[in-house]
Amino acid sequence: MNLINSQSLYTIIQRLTILGKDKFIEEEEARYARQIVSLADEIVENDIELVLLAGPSGSGKTTTAHNLRKELMCRLMGEGHYVYCLSMDDWYMSADRYTMPVDEEGQPDYESPDCLDVPRLNRDLNDLFAGREVSLPTYNFITRRSVESGAKIELKKGDVVIMEGLHALNPMIHFPDDTLRSLRVYVSPADVIVDETRGLELSNQYIRLCRRIYRDRDQRGSSEEETIERSRSVNRGERLYIAPFLNNVGVWRVDTLLGYELFIHRRELPEEKELRVVPLSKITRFDIPEGSILREFYKV
């Protein structure tokens, strides 16, 4: 399931042909940036205090959260307010505190919300919005231990918290104070329609996989086969832990597809047969602008 409107490969190719490489990239980045501006408008105009931002792996949610923070800081800092960006990952429990949940095949379910210290997460958020100082944890994925980061925050009236994570749409994150103004945001690239009559598409799951294949190979030393194998768990986590909440009223959507990325995936991942519907072009990863969400996956 994807609440983001689909895009057409034919239209993307046409726009590249008409606009040329540089203008096309500029317009795609601008389209994404306009969504961040609109989201910031919604937050400021409605005095939103907490933004819960979710997206599956490879969606660009981390960069989107930080881009949103920058946009909000530009608007609120002059009024003496601050915007905090927190990652739900830091509330993972130490491995010795719980029994790792497993999936249907008996494999570790790292995506499960049971890996999170939900009581502490809710307590910390509630303390924050009650005006109390909160000590922030941090999670070491190598040692699988949660420790105190040493950082402490205390909100002032008018401050905003952005909490990003896989489970940010889950109603397990709750607040006893009904007056808290919150907004839930879903981040994902659009599906790309290749041939509507034959039902052919490059799905958002596949586009996110392409992003992760390059990132994992380039930054983590993982093979394509290893990333594809992990995608089974990623897709299962999306199906179980995000999809059930996508139709909840008031979920804001951000499309992180940048049309020009298809041409980069085509060039950088020649072994991917599904990408052969995308023509080769002069666009390379070196054309990705500074600050783009694609820099999360393609380091240049």
Q: What is the pLDDT of residues 245-274, one digit of tens each?
A: 988 768 999 999 999 999 999 999 999 999
One of 3.30.360.10, 3.40.50.300, 3.20.20.10, 3.40.309.10 is the CATH number of 7-296, namely: 3.40.50.300
Instruction: Report residue 209 as tokens.
Output: 């996989």
Domain boundaries in the chain?
7-296
> What's the predicted TM-score (pTM) here?
0.91
Q: What is the pLDDT of residues 2-27, one digit of tens each?
A: 457 899 999 999 999 999 999 999 99
Long-range contacts of 146-152 (CB under 8 A, 24+ apart): 146/90, 146/91, 146/92, 146/93, 146/94, 146/117, 149/90
Q: What is the pLDDT of residues 217-235, one digit of tens each?
A: 888 888 888 898 888 889 9
Minimum mean pLDDT range among 99-103, 128-132, 191-195: 99-103
Per-residue CA distances from 293 to 102, 109, 257, 261, 289 (Å): 32, 27, 9, 10, 9
Is the sign of the CA dihedral 171, 141, 73, 39 positive or negative? negative
133, pLDDT greater than 70: yes
pLDDT-derived band at 1 (thresholds 50, 70, 90) equals very low
Q: Provide the β-strand partners of residue 52.
A: 163, 184
CA 154 from centroid of its chain's CA atoms: 26
